[in-house]
């Protein structure tokens, strides 16, 4: 089976919402050749527990040892891309899941539902639908998972206020 074309962060990929390239520090991810090196099978949903600008600084700080492929802003659904999809972001806290997933952070806090805006849900769902289409990932809760569902996870995000029903309906609509 032919491998999907990988997006160039500087050029919007077909089917993807507009994203903006904001590279993570090179010490915060692993260069790879996905999906040939590792098949991408999951999208992992995160919540930053920070503002977008503060999370961005963390991803760019070489001492932090953390990153995600994308981050979605609460107010307007702006999407920053921090790690190329071919590379392995350090987001799941589980190497096996890091190698087989795309990590999407969402600006906000798990206990502050006001951050989960319509713009954030819609923008993130379009991105998740595009990632699923690119890699043949089923648009199901078995494959679009929360950080807390990663084996060995010590995090609780996206938390009890994340509306999974709404989100998955938006992902299904693409």
> Residues 35-94: pLDDT tens digits?
999 999 999 999 999 999 999 999 999 999 999 999 999 999 999 999 999 999 999 999
What is the per-residue pLDDT for 12? 52
pTM: 0.93
Residue 44 · residue 104 · CB < 8 Å: yes
Give the count of alpha carbons within 13 A of 17, CB side only: 22
Averaged pLDDT, 89-101:
97
Residue 91 · residue 155 · CB < 8 Å: no
Burial (CB < 10 A; 0-12, 13-18, 19+), residue 8, is exposed
- Interval 110-129: pLDDT, tens: 999 999 999 999 999 999 99
Q: Angle, nearest 10°, between helix axes 118-135 and 164-173? A: 50
């Amino acid at each position: 089976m032919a491998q999907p074309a990988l997006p160039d962060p500087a050029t919007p990929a077909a089917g993807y919402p507009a994203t903006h390239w904001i590279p993570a520090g090179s010490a915060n991810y692993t260069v790879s050749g996905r999906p040939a090196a590792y098949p991408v099978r999951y999208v992992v949903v995160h919540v930053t527990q920070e503002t977008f600008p503060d999370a961005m600084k963390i991803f760019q700080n070489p001492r932090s040892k953390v990153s995600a492929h994308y981050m979605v802003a609460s107010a307007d659904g702006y999407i920053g891309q921090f790690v190329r999809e071919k590379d392995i972001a350090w987001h799941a806290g589980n190497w096996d899941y890091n190698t087989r997933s795309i990590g999407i952070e969402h600006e906000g806090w798990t206990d502050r539902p006001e951050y989960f805006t319509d713009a954030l849900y819609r923008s993130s769902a379009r991105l998740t639908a595009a990632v699923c289409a690119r890699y043949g990932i089923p648009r199901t809760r078995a494959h679009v998972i929360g950080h807390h569902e990663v084996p060995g996870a010590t995090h609780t995000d996206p938390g009890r206020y994340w509306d999974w029903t709404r989100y998955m309906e938006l992902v299904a609509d693409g």
